[in-house]
Chains A and B, each alone.
Chain A
Amino acid sequence: MISRIKGWTLGVVQPIADWTEERTGVVTMLEHFLYEPVPKRGKWLYTLGSATLFLINLQFLTGILLLFYYVPTTDNAWDSIYYIMTDVYFGPLIRGIHFWSANILMIVIGMHMLRTFFSGAYKAPREINWVIGVVLIMLVTILAFTGYALRWDQEGFWAWEVGIKIGSYTPFVGAYVATFLLGGDTAGPATLARVFVIHVWLLPAALAPLIGIHLYLLRKHGEFGSEFEYSKRLAELRERQQIEEYALYEEGDEDSRG
């Protein structure tokens, strides 16, 4: 039954796949990405990373949807959120997902970091990926902090004030930090504009490419099976695989010449 469905599907899909493959090479790329042997024993622990990625994607998606209605001015910010929560179709759902997935993201990203730490996954050759991960967790924390100031309600605004107050105690550059974050000497329209730019443009723009590098390095070195000393075995397998591929390549070369 399955083979019959498979044969039928192949007849339809194969020409499309071939057409796309010839022009973009996307099929080979997908095969390369998907058919990767990964350690079995860390299976559920490794879902922490993908869960982080999923929640960040949810943030991007719901954040873009919220931008359809959110107005980043001191006069209208609160009202626009009130409007989202009362009148917009699925408004409470979209904002609820944005709020709750941000909160859960803080837990999951922390667990992901702890997993990496306790399994020693930051050891050579994965040091750079750990460093990028620390930058990512910093960016996510600042995103979370700027996020609730955007509500421009009492809670968010005063929390932001406290944050600026703490920032103003930075040795040597405290005054500049406070002026930069306030957009002047006191809180006002410029403050909200800055929070908005930081939360919606600056940090997501920094976050996205770093996530890309994080994933690239993950694939380059392979998923880590540290606690079971698995990585060495996987590396050996890769090496053998490459040797075999090279042998095949040479064989093919001789065939074409002969």
Chain B
Amino acid sequence: MVEVRRGPVEKGEVITEENVYDRPDETIGFFPSQIVADLAVSAALLAIVVALSYLVPAPLTEPVDISTTTYVPRPEWFFMFYDQMLMFFPGYALIPFGGIVIPTLVFILFFAVPWLDTEPGHSPVKRPFMTIVAFLIILTVVFNLLLGIIRILNFPGGSP
């Protein structure tokens, strides 16, 4: 039985692979504790995926008919918010902005996030600006996703 120490790490104390397990209050060993958690989540996901593949078979619609004029294409759910956002950029003059320019700018901003965030500290509470921006982005995506779903439900034969 290993001695279990609690409280903050004392000065001069070194956490090594031998004693890392003795500090349940601060650290866990990557092996086995973290790996067990990782495996648990992965196993749960695998079970969900296997169950879904039997309960809801992967879709396969009818073969391609290139000459059709009545088929209404629908995006996958993870593109629905993007598809919906295009509705706010009607006409040939605006589509390049909604479809390409703005998403490109958003991705450039994503790349620049570490250099844009100059607020000290790591906690989201200590970085109100970035936190608010992130929430606005999440709201935009979720709101547009819902709008897209509602539109597709209301106009199953194609948007007006």
Contact = CB atoms under 8 A, between A and B. Distances in A.
Contact of A120 (B46, B77, B96, B123): B123
B16 interface: yes
Interface in B87-124: 92, 95-96, 99-101, 107, 110-111, 113-115, 117, 121-124
A237 B117 CA distance: 27
A159 B101 CA distance: 20
A216 to B, nearest CB: 15
Interface residues of A, number: 84
B58 A96 contact: yes
Of residues A47, A82, A229, which shows the largest number of chain B Cβ atoms within 10 Å of its Cβ?
Answer: A47
Contacts of B66: 157, 187
Contacts of B76: 144-145, 148, 159
Given A162-B75, A169-B99, A226 B123 contact: yes
A26 to B, nearest CB: 15
A238 to B, nearest CB: 9
Contacts of A167: 100
B59 A169 contact: no
Q: Chain B interface: which size bin?
A: 35 or more
Given A35-B17, A78-B63, A119-B122, A40 B58 contact: no
12 contacts: A38-B30, A40-B27, A58-B49, A92-B54, A92-B57, A100-B53, A119-B122, A123-B117, A124-B114, A127-B115, A171-B100, A223-B30
Interface of B: 9, 12-17, 20, 23-31, 33-35, 37-38, 40-42, 45-46, 48-50, 52-54, 56-66, 68, 71, 73-79, 86, 92, 95-96, 99-101, 107, 110-111, 113-115, 117, 121-124, 127, 130-131, 134, 138
In the A-B complex, the 6 residue pairs with the smallest Cβ-Cβ separation, listed nearest first, are: A96-B53, A35-B17, A158-B73, A99-B58, A34-B31, A120-B122
